[in-house]
Amino acid sequence: MKSTLVVGALLTVMTATGAFGQAIKLANVAELSGGGATVGTNWKNGIDLAIEEINAKGGVLGRKLEVSHADSQSNPGVARAQVQKALDAEPYVLLGPGYSGSVKVTAPLAAEAGIAQIMGGEAAELTQAGNKFLFRTSFGQQSSMPKVAKYIHDEMKAKTVAVVWVNNDFGRGGRDVIVKELDRLGSKVVADLSTEAGQADFAADVGKIKAANPDAVFVYLNEEESARILKELKRQGVTAPLMGETTLIGQKVIELAGDAANGARGHVGLTTDAPVDLVKAFREKFSKKYNYVPDHNGLKGYLAVYMVKATTEKMGKVDPKKFADTLHGLTIKAADEPGILMDVTFSDTGDIDRQSFLVEVVEGKQVVKQVLPKVK
């Protein structure tokens, strides 16, 4: 009788300490195969890198982080199934997906389960549906595109603009916001060209731009296609200034397009090319571990994990129920949490506010032309 009691007590102590030292479980659902595989793999690698770093330094509140990765096959139906599976296992926070469509189908599930979801989608509408559990890791297009439109109108003094976009939810989303903004500012969209993901031949598209003879061209494509259209623009002798986002003037595009990238300008919200020391250090660590330079999705995944860390440390405990409330309105300073790379504030809708840059490619190098401060 006595011995059973002792054993019982021992067991209780053991499970209690076990719970104390238990890992914090995160679940990631991302596009690891299919059309978004590059996006999802970057995102996943960013997550793994951040977790490795955090665990090497003793974890969060003394507990290790653990993540499970699931592949959504870039298909909203599969994403739904995998998020369901992840939520059934009751993770602390849900990470991903990256495609806006997949976010749309999974966000209600996470909200219903009361679990915060930190995702990579950039479509404007995602954070406008009143979901209290959804957080971005980058600017939504509703906050980045107006800055670009303003630059095209005010600085480039373009009265006519050609808009080239890739016909997926990323490209279409950006196109819709910027066309509206340009219209509001009084710049006329004289060519509105949709292109396909993976397109190799831009002769026809550039021909149309040339015929429209705009004052500026806004290019919103994936990196590889950006490089191809830059070459074609040069070949056909289009001289109008080019404006884009991270995807037009990133280091990878410059590498692929060579001197055709010179003169292109872009708004850089979140990029490994940002002229910030912490970001440069991140880039180095990432390329050392994975043998390639990450795109902004790698950064997003990395930040997502540090958002979890900063929020949890702010709460002082691991409480999935209070996580979302704590992150709303939170400002995380890079001085306090170097992993967040740049000072950032989260709004009540889960949107992000952060410094950004306007960059021009000069002789194969990015030169910062302007620093755009945080809105608030």
Tokens (6 digits) for 238: 């289009």
Interacting residue with another protein among 6, 10, 204, 367 (CB under 8 A): 204
Q: Which part of the chain contacts another protein (CB under 8 A), choosing from 53-61, 103-111, 154-162, 333-341?
A: 103-111
- Site for another protein (CB under 8 A): which residue of 172, 180, 322, 374? 172
| 223 makes contact with another protein (CB under 8 A) | yes
- C-beta of residue 312 within 8 angstroms of C-beta of residue 325: no
C-beta closer to another protein: residue 192 or 313: 192
Does position 210 interact with another protein (CB under 8 A)? The reply is yes
Provide the 3-class DSSP secondary structure of residue 97: coil
Figure out which of the listed residues 28, 29, 30, 41 binds another protein, where binding follows CB under 8 A: 41
Per-residue binding string, another protein, 263-302, x by CB under 8 A, is ----------------------------xx----------
- Which C-beta is closer to another protein: that of 151 or that of 170? 170
Can you tell me the distance from the alpha carbon of 335 to that of 338, in angstroms, rounded to the nearest whole number? 6
Our CB check for another protein shows the closer of 126 and 156 to be: 126
Q: Does 74 bind another protein (CB under 8 A)?
A: yes
Q: Does residue 193 bind another protein (CB under 8 A)?
A: yes
Rounded-to-integer distance, Cα 121 and Cα 128, Å: 13
Q: Are 60 and 21 in contact (CB under 8 A)?
A: no
| 259, β-bridge pairs | none
- Cα dist from 184 to 147, 154, 163, whole Å: 13, 13, 15
195 binds another protein (CB under 8 A): yes
Q: Are 29 and 97 in contact (CB under 8 A)?
A: yes
Question: Rounded CA gap, 295 and 43, in Å?
Answer: 9
**Coil, strand or helix: which one is 165?**
strand
CB-based burial label for 200 (10 Å; 0-12, 13-18, 19+): exposed
The distance of closest approach from Cβ of residue 200 to another protein in the complex, given in angstroms and rounded to an integer, is 6
Rounded to the nearest whole angstrom, what is the least distance from the CB of residue 370 to another protein in the complex?
Answer: 30
Q: Of all helices (H) and strands (E), which one includes residue 310?
A: helix 296-315
Q: Among 23, 37, 185, 330, which residue sits at the site for another protein (rule: CB under 8 A)?
A: 37
Smaller CB distance to another protein: residue 65 or 113? 113
Contact between 90 and another protein (CB under 8 A)? no
- Of 364, 306, 357, give the one whose Cα is nearest residue 333: 306
The CA distance from 40 to 222, in Å, is 14
Of 88 and 336, the one with the shorter C-beta distance to another protein is 88
Tell me, residue by residue from 115 to 134, as one string, x for binding to another protein by CB under 8 A and - for no binding. --------x-x---------
**Between 125 and 343, whose beta carbon lies closer to another protein?**
125
Sign of CA dihedral 31, 36, 37, 39: negative
Tell me the C-alpha distance between 180 and 177, whole Å: 5
> Is 162 or 344 the residue whose CB approaches another protein more closely?
162
| Closest C-alpha to 270, from 218, 172, 340 | 340
Q: Which residues bind another protein (CB under 8 A)?
A: 32-33, 35, 37-38, 40-42, 69-71, 74-77, 80-82, 84-85, 87-88, 100-101, 104-105, 108, 123, 125, 167-169, 172-173, 193-196, 198, 200-201, 203-205, 207-208, 210-211, 223-224, 228, 231, 235-237, 255-256, 258, 291-292
